[in-house]
Structure 1
């Protein structure tokens, strides 16, 4: 009798080399960390790997002691940003205490000059700019300033999915954006994207954020609109359902976004395709935790509806 697998809501777990990177951080093995990043050339995969390091609790103690190389400073800045959001938590602002906001701000204020120095020395440091989008959002520097940061980044990497996904969050009304601005940006990203790339996924993220940002009857009907469904299907066909799609380190999140949307839309065939691609053991926390708080509950609720509990 085989033991059933347990799904891990840890996107890095799908990639043994990222698990090794996380272990190297916990062991304070700077040589192994440097070697790992030296082997990366893709901007989005590098940004994801930086986030893996940044999410290691307590890593700042090790990173603060390193000689100040660009990589060490980038990882420290990113870690301080992750620590800030850990203090804030993922709850809506009305559920976050003033003490949590203050603690978050204190960490972001430490991270900002580190990343500013990196982008000043190297304006083409796309990954540092990408993390400045997140710190700017947390510090509430405003839509104009975060857009300025994105535009600077886009000069060097106009199709960075990591940056575009950060802008999706920035443009949501919960961060003083608007639905119109959000969807306009997402469509522009998709229109400029190559078939089989990650970029059209931001259209799916925008519609998912719109869906979870509504209440009551509005939420219940949003994904039934023909124009919304048409746009979601077009985005999926140009990304996760395209024969050339690979996705790098981001594929679990990409499939997850469309699995939720197609499941909620009642598009059984496409929902099944996305769940099958996810497999049996690994998923990302986003978008699942936005449904019920616990990603496992959110995942199971949609998956069981689509697959009826079958694997």
Structure 2
């Protein structure tokens, strides 16, 4: 029996140009980085590319030494925020040490004034606002301030999936939000968005987050609820299953969210339609990396959807 190759849960790996961008950062090739960002067509793709830069360890030294253009400052702030979350780790708050919280806060307090200055200079700097949303969660500034930041951003990009995903996380109860506020926001994103856009994926993300927080009887019954299933199907049909779907750099996440949900629901036909674009070797980080054994979970759900397991 041939063992399938280990899957990379690295969304950037689905796009050769993003792997080249990552190498340009490691090589401190600022000209290549500037040219790359100059060619991006929308704010969501720009925000994800900035995230790719921000995940490169040690990039803050190179970025801090550059002439302070808006792009250089934006990327530096993004890197400081990623470094902050690296220090904190992805563990729940009860398992994070005090020194980790202190280290995280120190990095976020370096990033905040950079982003504040950028959005003061240009209130329409949507990417800076996206990272201000991520920083807001880490600094625990509260729901009202986070929503204020989102609303300022939404004046310029009302359907930014990158921003909406950040607020989805903020609205979860684990960040002092509520399920009612979370699902209401996700539905608003879906209802307002053009068919075939990424925004309806926020409905899927909201249900993934809700499902993750359940256990026992509640967990086993949640995705069997007719109202929940109908909402997930409607969101998929307005996004990944719509003939006009264009996901930019976020399509692996969008397909992954619905593949996971439909797989758990036992809706094999829709699950298969969402697993098919993900291929054999690369998938997005979310929701898979939140699972204990992401590759095992991915393969089991995909095999059932595609008929590999009877």
| Pair in the same fold by TM > 0.5 | yes
1:238-290 CA distance string (max 9 Å, x none): 00011111201001010000011001111111011111121111101110122
Q: Does residue 286 of structure 2 align to residue 283 of structure 1?
A: no
Task: Quote how far apart the aligned CAs of 1:213 are.
Answer: 1.2
Alignment-derived partner of residue 246 in structure 1: 246
1:80 and 1:111 in contact (8 A); partners too: yes
Runs (5+) with no aligned partner, structure 2: none
Range moving further from structure 2, 143-152 or 208-217: 208-217
1:70-99 CA distance string (max 9 Å, x none): 000000000000001111111111111111
Alpha-carbon distance between aligned partners in 2 of 1:215 and 1:97, rounded to the nearest angstrom: 26
Alignment-derived partner of residue 296 in structure 2: 297
Alignment-derived partner of residue 305 in structure 2: 306
1:187 and 1:203 in contact (8 A); partners too: yes
Alignment-derived partner of residue 35 in structure 2: 35
List aligned pairs for 1:24-103, cutoff 5 A: 24-103=24-103
1:289 and 1:298 in contact (8 A); partners too: no
Alpha-carbon distance between aligned partners in 2 of 1:125 and 1:41, rounded to the nearest angstrom: 15
Alpha-carbon distance between aligned partners in 1 of 2:40 and 2:251, rounded to the nearest angstrom: 17
Alignment-derived partner of residue 184 in structure 1: 184
Let me know the Cα RMSD of the aligned residues: 1.5
Alpha-carbon distance between aligned partners in 1 of 2:41 and 2:284, rounded to the nearest angstrom: 23
The alignment's TM-score, normalised by the length of structure 1, stands at: 0.96
Range moving further from structure 2, 252-261 or 299-308: 299-308
Change (3 A) 1:56 1:309: farther
1:134-174 CA distance string (max 9 Å, x none): 00000000000000000000001001010001110000000
Task: Quote how far apart the aligned CAs of 1:112 are.
Answer: 0.5
The alignment's TM-score, normalised by the length of structure 2, stands at: 0.96
Alignment-derived partner of residue 233 in structure 2: 233
2:6 and 2:295 in contact (8 A); partners too: no
Alignment-derived partner of residue 110 in structure 2: 110
Alignment-derived partner of residue 10 in structure 2: 10
1:212 and 1:291 in contact (8 A); partners too: no
Alignment-derived partner of residue 154 in structure 1: 154
2:78 and 2:131 in contact (8 A); partners too: yes
Alpha-carbon distance between aligned partners in 1 of 2:290 and 2:3, rounded to the nearest angstrom: 29
Alpha-carbon distance between aligned partners in 1 of 2:297 and 2:25, rounded to the nearest angstrom: 30
Task: Quote how far apart the aligned CAs of 1:41 are.
Answer: 2.7
2:269 and 2:305 in contact (8 A); partners too: no
Alpha-carbon distance between aligned partners in 2 of 1:72 and 1:65, rounded to the nearest angstrom: 9
2:9 and 2:289 in contact (8 A); partners too: no
Task: Quote how far apart the aligned CAs of 1:298 are.
Answer: 3.3
State the secondary structure of the residue aligned to 2:233.
helix
1:268 and 1:306 in contact (8 A); partners too: yes
Alpha-carbon distance between aligned partners in 2 of 1:297 and 1:86, rounded to the nearest angstrom: 25
